[in-house]
Amino acid sequence: MGVTTAMATDRIWKLQLLGGWQLYRGDQPVKVAPRQQRLIAALALYGGQSRRFLAGLLWPDSPERHAFGNLRESVFVVNRDLPKLLAPTQDPLDLVARVQIDVREIRGQASRVEEQTDSELQSMLESVLEAELLRGWYENWIISEQERWQRLRLSVLERLAKQFLLQGTIEQAVEAARAATTIDPLRESAQRLLLQSYLAEGNQAEALRAYRSFQIRLRQEFGVAPSPVTEDLVSPLLMNGSDG
């Protein structure tokens, strides 16, 4: 039974794209060359795609013939060095269904934040707090995916902050809201959640500092003031002239 379990584990591919690229076979990291890393990352992010699409995506500055040649070589190397990672189809290309991909798992969890248990919410918060997609990769297609991922992270962090506030787990609410404002300091919904979290924590001084910092940023960037909804949150503090 132990041998069977070990063999089954060995067949499980795990792909990490958050925080840096790493492929695992079971629990063992696998060394993969940069060109093959990019092919695997593209399939993980875009799903099954035609060879023409992938050749153009990965080698946009190469003549079509060279791009297709590079792709054929990369597919050959992946099939040789990482057998059964690619689905057994010639066109379109895809990863096998059993590959566990961290980005896809978080996207799946993001669709049901409001249904998760306390421990699941905490685990998800830990997963998205510092989760930068393919850090250090700068191709145009990757930058586009990084921006899309940041928008998802921002949405998830806001929804987590709301859930933590509802549950009364204020420390986690502050952490999630603060992370959201770090991603987009001018997003008023995130700033409002941070203010609500500080106030729920009883931290009036920090709430007032956060509000004033946001107020200054808005004025400098857009020449506008926070909305009345946001101002209402801190109006008692402003009337009292309180700095905590």
Asked if 231 and 126 sit in the same domain, the reply is yes
More confident residue, 172 or 6: 172
Mutual orientation of helices 170-183 and 118-129 as an angle, nearest 10°? 30
pTM, two decimal places: 0.85
Choose the final residue of a domain: 93, 111, 129. Answer: 111
Looking at residue 20, the DSSP 8-state letter turns out to be: S
Mean pLDDT of all residues belonging to the chain: 91
> How many domains, the chain?
2
Q: What is the pLDDT of residue 2?
A: 46
Q: What is the pLDDT of residues 23-60, one digit of tens each?
A: 999 999 999 999 999 999 999 999 999 999 999 999 99
Q: What is the pLDDT of residue 91?
A: 93
Give the pLDDT band (50/70/90) at residue 241.
Answer: low
Q: What is the pLDDT of residue 158?
A: 97
More confident residue, 8 or 171: 171
Asked if 185 and 228 sit in the same domain, the reply is yes
Asked if 96 and 20 sit in the same domain, the reply is yes
Q: What is the pLDDT of residues 64-73, one digit of tens each?
A: 999 999 999 9
**Does residue 1 belong to any structural domain of this protein?**
no
How many C-beta neighbours within 10 Å does residue 175 have?
Answer: 19
Tokens of 130: 């510092």
pLDDT at 9 over 60: no
Asked if 89 and 68 sit in the same domain, the reply is yes
**Does residue 3 belong to any structural domain of this protein?**
no
Asked if 104 and 126 sit in the same domain, the reply is no
Q: What is the pLDDT of residues 134-177, one digit of tens each?
A: 999 999 999 999 999 999 999 999 999 999 999 999 999 999 99
pLDDT at 244 over 70: no
pLDDT at 75 over 80: yes
CA distances from 118 to 109, 154, 159, 180, 199 (A): 13, 20, 14, 20, 22
HSE-up of 81 (CA within 13 Å, CB side)? 15
CA distance 67 to 62: 6
**Does residue 2 belong to any structural domain of this protein?**
no
Range in 106-110, 184-188, 191-195 with the lowest mean pLDDT: 106-110
Find the domain containing 24 and state its range: 8-111
Asked if 29 and 138 sit in the same domain, the reply is no
pLDDT at 116 over 80: yes
Contacts of 47 (CB under 8 A, 6+ apart): 94
Give the pLDDT band (50/70/90) at residue 206.
Answer: very high
Give the pLDDT band (50/70/90) at residue 117.
Answer: confident
Is residue 67 a contact partner of residue 55, using CB atoms and an 8 Å limit? yes
Is residue 207 a contact partner of residue 234, using CB atoms and an 8 Å limit? yes
Average pLDDT over residues 13-23: 94
Q: What is the pLDDT of residue 96?
A: 96
Average pLDDT over residues 102-125: 88
Give the pLDDT band (50/70/90) at residue 8.
Answer: very low
Question: In a 3-state reduction of DSSP, which class is residue 111?
Answer: coil
Burial of 39 (0-12, 13-18, 19+ CB in 10 A): buried
Average pLDDT over residues 86-94: 94
Is residue 4 a contact partner of residue 20, using CB atoms and an 8 Å limit? no
Beta-strand ranges (E) seen in 64-139 are 100-101
**Does residue 53 belong to any structural domain of this protein?**
yes
CA distance 86 to 40: 9
CA distance 217 to 154: 19
